[in-house]
């Protein structure tokens, strides 16, 4: 039907668009921009010409890891041991 159903309160309206300007030309692919963890879910493509074809895709968006904080413990003396510690949220 040449439209995207965003669902209620999804926040997708400004981030989803058809890849091709005219999806009736056999490509109803969509592009989801600026992925967010909250975009995780099941997406359904429903194409209707003479019959209806439905395909579901499960999308899992994982959070980008935080930059680790690293430091050394022990004296930096040649031949001695030190401990390198790293932590990330």
pTM of this prediction exceeds 0.75: no
pLDDT tens for each residue of 37-55:
888 988 888 887 788 888 8
Domain span including residue 67: 1-88
pLDDT the model gives residue 45: 83
Q: What is the mean pLDDT of residues 61-75?
A: 89
d(C-alpha 33, C-alpha 15), whole Å? 5
Higher-pLDDT residue of 7, 52: 52
pLDDT the model gives residue 52: 86
The dihedral over CA atoms of 70, 71, 72, 78, expressed in degrees to the nearest 10, equals: 80
Q: Could you tell me which of 20, 28, 21 has the C-alpha nearest to residue 45?
A: 28
| Total domain count, the chain | 1
């Amino acid at each position: 039907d040449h439209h995207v159903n965003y669902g209620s309160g999804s926040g997708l309206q400004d981030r989803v668009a058809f890849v091709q300007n005219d999806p009736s030309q056999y490509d109803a692919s969509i592009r989801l921009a600026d992925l967010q963890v909250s975009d995780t879910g099941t997406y359904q493509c429903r194409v209707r010409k003479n019959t209806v074809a439905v395909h579901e895709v499960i999308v899992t968006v994982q959070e980008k890891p935080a930059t680790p904080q690293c430091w050394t413990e022990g004296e930096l003396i040649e031949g001695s041991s030190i401990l390198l510690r790293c932590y990330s949220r």
